[in-house]
Chain A
Amino acid sequence: MHPAFSVIFFTAASGAGYGLVALVGLLSAFGRVPQAGWFGFAALAFALALITAGLLSSSFHLGRPERAWRAFSQWRSSWLSREGVIAVLSYAPTGVFGLGWVVFGRTDGWFALAGLMATAMAMLTVWCTAMIYASLKPIHQWHNKWVPANYLSLALLTGALWLNALVHLWGRPDPVVGAIAVAATLLAAWLKESYWRFIDTVPAASTPESATGLGARGTVRVLDAPHTEENYLLKEMGYKVARKHAVKLRRLARLFAFALPLALTLAAFVAPAPLALLAALVAAGSAMLGVLVERWLFFAEARHTVTLYYGARQV
């Protein structure tokens, strides 16, 4: 699949934003984040900025952005529609939660509930985003259970690392937050590795033979494509990344999304304050970069069944 930058940025940024919202909502209910209104403002503003930038960027992907509002209509069947609806709805609990925290300085009671609701809706939004991909049967690399797990865990990972950076920035490092960041990193790494193992080992059901129904006669090969130059289908869905290249990029993703953040987060536990802050910040930035690479690969490694009609031996 063609790795459209707007979509990659959207999922990575909004994922981090929702991850952050989710963690802040959850932890603040348990009083595990600084109670200061300024902190709340910074955390939530940063999260909403990530989310909003992502959402805006995703509309660049639309052929008719001015009609984007129409996308709220099909929530009964379309994951994209659901994602849109929930994304918009999630502003409400997050707003109430933020209002309580920043303006009224309160994170308890109804506001805590709003925080928990924000957590749930943030995660739900990420899940919807993942389900947009996971529901697409023609794309074996997307249509599997690892995809929602990856999306959720990576959102948590980036959210946790940003939260850790924020608490360090606030001068209030918290071992629980640090531990969550470490756990999220390990979980996300394990899920991503499982995903990669899955797409490397489990073949798609569809083949050129099933795509054409000609399998009974033997191997099916393309003699001539319908057009000698690329058409929309190939430009959009025929993107191919060389195996060698993919291996390299996976390494980079591992490094930036998991290895470095893990090491830096651990280092932040023990390092003196200014260095710990730097470590936490770099960990979050590195994870963002890692997720961008991961997301690029998520598209680039995804192979659509339509390519079976254009010479792909497998998808």
Chain B
Amino acid sequence: MDGSPAAGKSVRKRTLTERLFGGQEQVDTSPKVADEVKYTTCYMCACRCGIKVHLLDGRIRYIEGNRNHPINRGVLCAKGSAGIMQQYSPAKLTKPLRRVGERGAGEFKEIEWDEALGLASEWLGRIRASDPRKLAFFTGRDQSQSLTGWWAAQFGTPNFAAHGGFCSVNMAAAGLYTVGGSFWEFGEPDWERSEYFLMFGVAEDHDSNPIKLGISRLKARGAKFVSVNPVKTGYSAVADEWIGIRPGTDGLFVFALIHELLRADRIDLDFLARYTNAPWLVIRNPGQGDDGLFTRDAEGNPLAWDAKKQAAVNALGVDVSPAIAGEVTLPDGRKAVPVFQLLAERYLDPSYAPDEVAKRCGVPADTIRRIAAELAHAAFAKQIVLDQPWTDWAGRRHDKMIGRPVAMHAMRGISAHSNGFHTCRAIHVLQMLLGAVDTPGSWRYKAPFPRSCPPPGKPGGKTVAANTPLGGMPLGFPLGPEDLLVEADGTPQRIDKAYSWEAPVAAHGLMHMVITNAWKGDPYPIDTLFMYMSNMSWNSAMNTAGTIGMLTDKDPATGEYKIPRIIYSDAYFSEMVAYADLLLPDTTYLERWDCISLLDRPIGSAEGPADSIRQPVIKPDRDVRPFQEVLIDLGARLKLPGLTNPDGTAKYPGGYPDYIANHESKPGIGPLAGWRGEDGESHGTGPANPRQLDKYIEHQCFWHYELPADQLYYKHANRNYLETAKRLGFIDKAEQIVLQLYSEPLQKFRLAARGFGPVQPPDRERARIEANFDPLPIWHMPFEEAAVDNDTFPLHAITQRPMPMYHSWGSQNAWLRQIMSHNRLYMNRRTAASLGIADDDWVWVTSHHNRVKAQVRLMEGVNPNTVWTWNAIGKRAGAWNLAHNAPEAVRAFLLNHVISELLPERNGYRYSNSDPVTGQAAWYDLRVRVEKADAVEAGETAPSFPPLKTPPGLASPPSILRYGADFKSRDAAEEGGK
């Protein structure tokens, strides 16, 4: 760009009129932008982009993306760009509150922090001294799970989880048990090299900006981008091909692709033999306790059949020529077959042929066949050969890196179904068959992934005792029935029933079941529900009205609330605030320290690990405290072991920054990996560095470790990478991570269901476990669809995240809510016509559970069997300090009103509306019918709830906002002064 300053001035002779009426404006093209620029990390959503905050006169003049940041490379999304309005939101809470009226009535009094913390430690101290399980500590969108989880463990309660259980645990668990990494935010396509990108069920993702940057890069290079999604908006709108699949059927679609690839033998056998458990021998011993387990040698190594030696050998050995097909007889006489053969037998079955699945998926068979051909073409005909030598796990040097430039990504469109765990595994299997895992051009792990597979670390909490920390972290990864958290009779030990037979691999807990279970006292009543940053009475609740009822329900016998105490921390006046007995107001993301740690949900990329911090860039103008600070303070008051010195004094008197810099979860490993050690020269591991935060600030608040070129691919089997990963503390041993086509842990649960082993499911669960713990991916009809009458509820109903809104918290933002304050029910034009529904009509959306009223918008680009809406736009009247007649409350709606947390009754029992393997909430299994509302019903949504009372201390919302006027008058004043 020609940016010479002269170009900014206009030089021209003044005409008569100009002299009479004043000439052309003199534009100041170089105004001062900031007194100071501070770097920090965005938290308008969980993508966590690097930002530069320009401060002028102590106010925020402008927030922009940090060009050097590995996540966003300078760009910023709509939410991030609206940070100013979040900071000046009138919904900000201002002081600790204690409930004075009935719960839910919104009557609070302001109290001092000392009283608030005293109260909390009194309540919690009592619980800890009696039965720590009576504290259920659940956190929502937070990024401090390593702190909160550790705190829960120190407290001694197993009843801890964050939001993952209702979010995307299916993706996390399926990935970690299959490839040692996952989609979600732990892997990414090779945007620079991929030739073919297949995306399943993604609207916005945690990788908001990276995906947008990536897609445009991919398109610029002419690669093909296919989006599998019932709805054609956002990413699907710019896809080269849109596959408008019927919700919940992706598994079948993927199986048909696999079927085609197998039938044509267009698979990467070398990759399978080297990097996956395809050759591992599986015992075929029907009816016996070892059926379906891997054959293992005395050291526990899995065996493979060496075709040259004609013998079973250690499958992890170096010089093996493994057979991938053919039944063999082991020395002990048992029969075994390689995993690959089981896989081929399963998916070559004609029931998975494109013609068979086409109707169910709503994807024409020809399309499926063509996509399969295109995948094979991209993977093999367009194979990438990089002149990049590397050394494999066995120390063998390879001159080249071979790439299969097919990348995949999947998220909640897969995850939020009751068959999501298996569908996600199916996608990973498809990747493996194409040899497209962490190779040039394919999907890649983001460091610190891959990790060993199946994942290490078991859930803690088998035994709980008063005043005693938990023996481990509350969340982990069970590898078999013996790792479950159940009583001898199979009764769940956790309040959310995670790690019970109802959800054995519930690696992130089941936050969506906590309130229901606590209210029922099933498996036991609790005393205090302690929540942080989660709008559990509204948009993250299934069965909103029911949840509100449970939060306020009293035991008629005692007159006490069924959930006796609720402590909640929020920064804003969300719907949940009304249900707190004690409210701990948090700071905004621009006011506090935060730590985006490798121990939490890391922000690494395929190029290398990264972590980052937030630093306060603006001082709070209210009596609020950062929640992490409060948690550490509470820990010290409760004298939790990790938070107190032996002499009883607080271990982190400097609060959260003190903790970030000095806490070690294991020797040498702390929340931040950068600039460790006294000298600040160690990275990854090393002694704590008291000046670590200064180092981060010097480096724009992030640390990024760039992997050398030979470690960028094949990380699961790349010796130099594995050694780096060990050195940085990501893995314990620098061993090959073998990808698991066949998942043995699942088979272990299944064997238990068949009656083998010491830990046995209750009889009621056997058939369910048998059916759902198949070690190879399966597909079953989404549970709700299978349970309801599909003539009565003929349509699928799903939601999508709007790009410019973050769940519920975007609506308080004066700029963002102007973009979307009313969500429609989107319907296919032809489907609507067949129901006599026209554009803009108001309709009732009815499920087996409830009904909700919405206004319709017709469109072409949506699967004809599907209706959908934007998520979390509907608001409770009064909440967020919005006017009671705001469209968010009057016209917008939540699909959550019609989603039940429980499935319809079957055999006298109502299971949770979740994936049977992981407990993932099955939001998108919803089935509905849509009917035109009466004319008199048009114009307003229903159900509507009584408006919430504004808590004390909130600013009164202005009727007109002139943000920025001060900067202008300042300019003028300066001009005048000159």
Task: Show the binding face of A for B, using Cβ within 8 Å.
Answer: 70, 72-74, 76, 221, 223-224, 226-229
Interface residue from B21, B818, B857 paired with A229 (Cβ < 8 Å): B818
In the bound complex, how far is the Cα of B21 from the Cα of A100, in angstroms? 34
| Subset of 13 A-B contacts with CB under 8 Å | A70-B21, A70-B22, A73-B20, A73-B21, A223-B233, A223-B857, A224-B857, A226-B819, A227-B820, A228-B820, A228-B821, A229-B821, A229-B822
Shortest Cβ distance from A75 into B: residue: B17
B887 part of interface (Cβ distance < 8 Å): yes
- In whole Å, how far is A85's beta carbon from the nearest beta carbon of chain B? 11
CB-contact partner of A73 in B17, B233, B818, B821, under 8 A? B17
How near does chain B come to A22, taking the closest CB pair, in angstroms? 29
Among A72, A227, A229, find the residue whose CB has the most chain B CB atoms closer than 10 A: A229
Interface centre among A70, A221, A228 (most CB of B within 10 A): A228
B731 at the interface (CB under 8 A from A): no
Considering the chains assembled together, what is the distance between the CA atoms of A74 and B17 in angstroms? 8
Across the interface, which residues of B come within 8 angstroms of A224, CB to CB? 857
Q: Which A residues are CB-close (under 8 A) to B233?
A: 223
- Say whether A227 contacts B857, CB under 8 Å: no
A72 surroundings in chain B (CB, below 8 A): 21
B21 cross-chain contacts in A, Cβ below 8 A: 70, 72-73
Query: How near does chain B come to A202, taking the closest CB pair, in angstroms?
Result: 28
A228-B887 Cα distance, complex, nearest whole Å: 9
Q: A228-B821, A228-B822, A229-B818 are in contact. Are A223 and B17 (CB under 8 A)?
A: no
Contact with A along B390-430 (1 / 0, CB 8 A): 00000000000000000000000000000000000000000
Report B229 CB to chain A, min CB distance, Å. Answer: 15
Whether the pair B818, A227 counts as a contact (CB closer than 8 A) is yes
Does B859 make an interface contact (CB < 8 A)? Answer: yes
A93 to B819 Cα, complex, angstroms: 54
Interface size on B, residues (CB 8 A): 14
Q: Encode contact with A along B817-849: 1 for CB under 8 Å, 0 otherwise.
A: 011111000000000000000000000000000
Nearest-neighbour CB distance to chain A for B446, whole angstroms, equals 32
Establish whether residues B887 and A229, one from each chain, have CB atoms under 8 Å apart when the complex forms. Answer: yes
Specify which chain B residues have a CB less than 8 angstroms from the CB of A223 in the assembled complex. Answer: 233, 857, 859
Question: Nearest-CB distance from B815 to chain A (Å)?
Answer: 11
Q: Is the CB of A228 within 8 A of B819?
A: yes
Q: Which A residues touch B820, using CB under 8 A?
A: 227-228
Closest CB in chain A relative to B872 CB, distance in Å: 14
Residue of A nearest to B802 (CB): A224
Query: How far apart sit A221 and B22, CA to CA, in the bound complex (Å)?
Result: 45
Chain A residues near B860 (CB, 8 Å)? 221
Q: Is the CB of A227 within 8 A of B819?
A: yes
B70 to chain A, nearest CB (A): 32
A sample of 9 more A-B contacts (CB under 8 A), given A227-B819, A228-B820, is A223-B233, A223-B859, A224-B857, A226-B819, A227-B818, A228-B819, A228-B887, A229-B822, A229-B887
Q: Name the 7 nearest CB pairs between A and B, nearest first.
A: A73-B21, A228-B822, A73-B17, A228-B821, A227-B818, A228-B820, A70-B21
Complex alpha-carbon distance, A226 and B78, angstroms: 13
Interface SS, B side = mixed
In residues 1-33 of chain B, which contact A (Cβ within 8 Å)? 17, 20-22
The distance in angstroms between the C-alpha atoms of A224 and B820, with both chains bound, is 10
CA distance A81 to B17 in the complex (A): 12
Nearest CB of chain B from residue A82's CB, rounded to whole Å: 13
Nearest opposing residue in chain A for B818, CB measure: A227
B871-889 with Cβ < 8 A to chain A: 887
- Whose C-beta in chain A lies nearest to the C-beta of B18? A73
What CA separation (Å) do A76 and B857 show in the bound complex?
48
Shortest Cβ distance from residue A148 to the other chain B in the assembled complex, whole angstroms: 26
Write out the residue numbers on chain A whose beta carbons fall within 8 Å of the beta carbon of B822: 228-229
Q: How far is the CA of A232 from the CA of B820 in the complex (A)?
A: 16
Residues of B within 8 A of A229 (CB): 818, 821-822, 887
Bound state CA distance, A302 and B887, in angstroms?
29
A73–B21 CA distance with the chains assembled, in angstroms: 7
Q: Nearest CB to that of A311 among chain B residues?
A: B839
A70 and B887 alpha carbons, distance in the complex (Å): 41
> What residues on A are CB-neighbors of B17 within 8 Å?
73-74, 76
Kindly list chain A residues whose C-beta atoms are within 8 Å of the C-beta of B819.
226-228
CB distance from B83 to the nearest CB of A (A): 20
Distance in angstroms between the alpha carbons of A224 and B17 in the assembled complex:
45
Chain B 215-258 interface residues, beta-carbon cutoff 8 Å to A: 233
A72 to B821, CA, bound (A): 43
Kindly state the separation between the CA atoms of A70 and B820 in the bound complex, as whole angstroms: 39
Determine the chain A residues whose CB is within 8 A of the CB of B818 once the complex forms: 227, 229
Q: Bound complex: CA of A76 vs CA of B822, how far in Å? A: 47
Chain B residues within 8 Å of A228, by CB: 819-822, 887
Q: How far is the CA of A74 from the CA of B18 in the complex (A)?
A: 10
Taken together as a complex, chains A and B put the C-alpha atoms of A226 and B820 apart, in Å, by 8
Q: Which residue of B lies closest to A227 (CB)?
A: B818
Chain A residues near B22 (CB, 8 Å)? 70
With the chains together, A76 CA to B233 CA distance in Å?
Answer: 48
Task: Provide the residues of chain B in CB contact with A76, threshold 8 Å.
Answer: 17
Closest residue of A by beta carbon distance from B888 = A228
Nearest CB of A to B592, in Å: 32
Provide the residues of chain B in CB contact with A74, threshold 8 Å: 17
Chain B residue nearest to A81 (CB atoms) is B17
What is the CA–CA distance of A95 and B274 in the complex, to the nearest angstrom? 102
Find chain B residues with CB under 8 A from A221 CB. Answer: 860
Report how far A315 CA is from B102 CA in the complex, Å: 57
Chain B nearest CB, measured from A234 CB (Å)? 13
Of chain B, the residue at the smallest CB distance from A223 is B859
Type the 1/0 row for B95-128, where 1 means its CB is closer than 8 Å to any CB of A: 0000000000000000000000000000000000
Q: B280: shortest Cβ distance to chain A, in Å?
A: 50
Minimum C-beta distance from A217 to chain B (A): 11
64-95 of chain B: CB within 8 A of chain A: none
Residue from A70, A74, A76, A227 whose CB has the most chain B CB atoms within 10 Å: A227
- Tell me, in angstroms, the Cα distance from A221 to B20 when the chains sit together: 49
Minimum C-beta distance from B797 to chain A (A)? 19
Q: CA of A226 to CA of B803 in the docked complex: distance in angstroms?
A: 13
Bound Cα distance A72, B16 (Å): 13
With a CB–CB cut-off of 8 A, which chain B residues contact A73? 17, 20-21
Which residue on A lies nearest to B858, using beta carbons? A221
Name the interface residues of B885-901: CB closer than 8 Å to any CB of A: 887
How many Å from the CB of B533 to the closest CB on chain A? 27
Distance in angstroms between the alpha carbons of A226 and B818 in the assembled complex: 9
Give the most central of A70, A76, A223, A227: most B CB within 10 Å: A223
Whole-angstrom CA separation of A228 from B890 in the bound complex? 13
A228 to B819, CA, bound (A): 6
Residue on A nearest B16 in the bound complex, by CB? A73
Q: How far is the CA of A226 from the CA of B802 in the complex (A)?
A: 13
Q: How far is the CA of A74 from the CA of B820 in the complex (A)?
A: 40
Specify the chain A residue showing the minimal Cβ separation from B891.
Answer: A228
Instruction: Name the residue in B22, B233, B819, B821 with the highest tally of chain A Cβ atoms < 10 Å from its Cβ.
Output: B819
Question: In whole angstroms, what is the CA distance A73 to B14 when docked?
Answer: 13
CA distance A74 to B22 in the complex (A): 12
Give the distance in Å from the alpha carbon of A116 to the alpha carbon of B17 in the complex.
29
Complex-state Cα separation, A221 to B818, whole angstroms: 22
Question: Please, which residues of chain B bring their CB within 8 A of the CB of A227?
Answer: 818-820
Q: List the B residue with the shortest CB-CB distance to A73.
A: B21
A72 to B21, CA, bound (A): 9
A73 to B818, CA, bound (A): 37
Q: Which residue of B lies closest to A74 (CB)?
A: B17
Considering only CB atoms, which chain A residue lies closest to B870 in the complex?
A: A224
* A158 → B minimal CB distance (Å): 34
Complex: A4 Cα to B822 Cα, angstroms: 28
Instruction: Report the separation of the CA atoms of residues A229 and B823 in the bound assembly, to the nearest whole angstrom.
Output: 11
Distance (Å) between the CB of B64 and the closest chain A CB? 22
Tell me, in angstroms, the Cα distance from A75 to B741 when the chains sit together.
79
How close is A81's CB to chain B, nearest CB, in angstroms? 10
Residues of chain A lying within 8 A (CB to CB) of residue B20:
73
Residue of B nearest to A72 (CB): B21
Please measure, in the bound complex, the distance between the C-alpha atom of A245 and the C-alpha atom of B162, giving whole angstroms: 58
Which A residues touch B821, using CB under 8 A? 228-229
Closest CB in chain A relative to B907 CB, distance in Å: 45
